[in-house]
Amino acid sequence: MISSDDTCAHALELLDKHDLRALPVVNRQGQLEGYVSIFGLGDYFIPKPKRTTSMRKVTSSIKAIIESIRGTEVTTFDADTVSDLYVRVAAMELASFGKTQTIEGIPDSKSIIVVGDRDDVHRRAIEVGVRLIIVTGGHRMKEGTLAAAKTAKVSVAYADTDSATTAWSVRASTLVEGLIQRDAPQFHPQEKLSVVRRRIIQSNALICLVVDEDGKLVGVFSKSDILKPVRTRLILVDHNELSQAVDGASEVEITEVVDHHRLGNPHTAQPILFLNRPLGSTCSIIADMFRTAGLKPSPQIAGLMMCGIISDTLLLQSPTTTPLDSDLLNWLSRLADTDARALADMMFNAGSVLANLSPEAAVRADCKLYHEGERRFSVAQVEELGFNNFWKCSESLLEALEKYRKENGLNFSTLLVTDIDTQSSLLLMRGETEVIQAITYPQKQPPFIFDMPGIVSRKKQLLPFLTSLLGQTSSTS
């Protein structure tokens, strides 16, 4: 990636270093401008023979030119100003100096003279007021001549390379801004691969660009990148419904499922290992797989699985808890050399979700989507120590919940706020009026908030309750 104020020399260096055919170009804010290609640069460096003026033209600044030729700045004026300049090699007799400029109508003030150790040419160029003199071959300008250049405000630089090489390098100092091409296909980061493949299958584009909502470049790929077969395989852990899986899960091979939730009937092309056990946590299932295989997880992995069991079962207090969850938590505790209760206190006191996240983020933090017949709905859950933080933002949470419902085209959305201390919850619901009216739990103020004492499990208590409500009501939008 390069900036629109980078030089062709820098672009060529990157193309060669990374063996590329094109480079994306962005502005200083990171927003996409287009791209430059090796072919576009070729057209610039090798123009049509009749366009002799184009072969001399350089759109750049004195500073960029000196950097491009890897030269030494001696004296410069307005070095950062970008303008159209024309490069010439002073290889003829002094009497011929300036004739070509006159014929082509190029002002001396826009001329760059590339010359060796010819003091007569140096002085003549200063007299006519050229923009820049580059002395090549490691030679230096005489002190008196250099003083005259400073008086006339003619910029001077030294180059160690010969005149021919230096002249080519001067042309490479042209800024890429004038060579940007804007015909590359653009895609959003969330675009499905199947859609991308259909769009570019007939395209001859050298480069494809991934751009976000703000116009910022976030990725680059080529046609061959996207069309070559890549076998992606996926294991679903702690979920088995595609609506809860990562984007694009329906387009890749699912090889295994390890879960403890209700069945969502994912379709697979081949038979797979489907391990679904009615335990309080998927971490319990994985820990039991370790133990059954005679393996001991590292203390770090054991500690992570302890966190999962503690979180899912509220330290073995949830109705979903089984004796095996308790047994496995004790086993992991010994391996991690960590007390489960101390770890639980550390986790639950680490910070309130509602105090640390925006309402929009809170309703999405631990949210799952479900399909029940023709209905689609979401169930999110946050766990708090008391409801103080909840009541401070209850109305904002209701607004965020309704916004999330509309954005995802859901029949209704819910948020279960659970108090770990009292083992009770508050349910927020927005959406279908008929479903909301069917709830028999006491309604709090503001509306759409229900008091649910003893309800702490989304999987074993809330979800069955919601599906029973759906069985009692008809489907409405």
DSSP string, 105-135: T--GGGEEEEE-S-HHHHHHHHHHT-SEEEE
pLDDT mean over 94-102: 63
State whether 302 and 419 are in the same domain. Answer: no
Q: Which of 44-58, 62-76, 258-272 tops mean pLDDT?
A: 62-76
Q: What is the CATH number of the domain that holds 454?
A: 3.10.310.20
Among the listed residues 192, 193, 217, 221, the one whose alpha carbon sits nearest the alpha carbon of residue 207: 221
Q: What does the pLDDT read at residue 246?
A: 82
For residue 132, report the phi and psi dihedrals to the nearest 5 degrees: -150, 135
State whether 319 and 429 are in the same domain. Answer: no
When pLDDT is cut at 50, 70 and 90, the band that residue 52 belongs to is low
Edge-first strand listing for the sheet containing 233-237: 233-237, 253-259, 273-276
Percentages (nearest 5) of helix, strand, coil residues in the chain: 40, 25, 35
Q: Which of 306, 322, 348 is the last residue of a domain?
A: 348
Q: What does the pLDDT read at residue 380?
A: 96
Structural domain including 326 reads: 235-348
pLDDT mean over 8-23: 91
- Top-confidence residue, 395 or 246: 395
State whether 112 and 20 are in the same domain. Answer: yes
When pLDDT is cut at 50, 70 and 90, the band that residue 358 belongs to is very high
Total structural domains within the chain: 4
State whether 223 and 280 are in the same domain. Answer: no
State whether 405 and 342 are in the same domain. Answer: no
Report the Cα–Cα distance between both ends of the chain, in Å, rounded: 47
Q: What is the CATH number of the domain that holds 187?
A: 3.10.580.10
Among the listed residues 186, 194, 205, the one whose alpha carbon sits nearest the alpha carbon of residue 227: 194
| Residue 61 belongs to some domain of the structure | yes
Q: Which of 348, 372, 406 is the last residue of a domain?
A: 348
Segment 386-440, tens digit of pLDDT: 898 899 999 999 999 999 999 999 999 999 999 988 889 999 999 999 999 999 9
427 token code pair: 């349910």
| Residue 84 belongs to some domain of the structure | yes
Distance CA(243)–CA(236), nearest Å, equals: 12
201 token code pair: 């299958």
pLDDT mean over 278-298: 96
When pLDDT is cut at 50, 70 and 90, the band that residue 368 belongs to is very high
pLDDT mean over 17-24: 91
When pLDDT is cut at 50, 70 and 90, the band that residue 107 belongs to is confident
Q: What does the pLDDT read at residue 477?
A: 46
State whether 187 and 159 are in the same domain. Answer: no
pLDDT mean over 18-46: 89
| Residue 477 belongs to some domain of the structure | no
Q: What is the CATH number of the domain that holds 73?
A: 3.40.1390.20
| Residue 56 belongs to some domain of the structure | yes
| Residue 361 belongs to some domain of the structure | yes
State whether 206 and 270 are in the same domain. Answer: no
State whether 117 and 9 are in the same domain. Answer: yes
Q: What does the pLDDT read at residue 376?
A: 93
Q: Which of 227, 258, 287 is the last residue of a domain?
A: 227
State whether 32 and 60 are in the same domain. Answer: yes
State whether 370 and 342 are in the same domain. Answer: no
The model carries a pTM of 0.50
State whether 146 and 193 are in the same domain. Answer: no
Q: Which of 202-211, 275-284, 337-346 has the lowest mean pLDDT?
A: 202-211
| Residue 129 belongs to some domain of the structure | yes
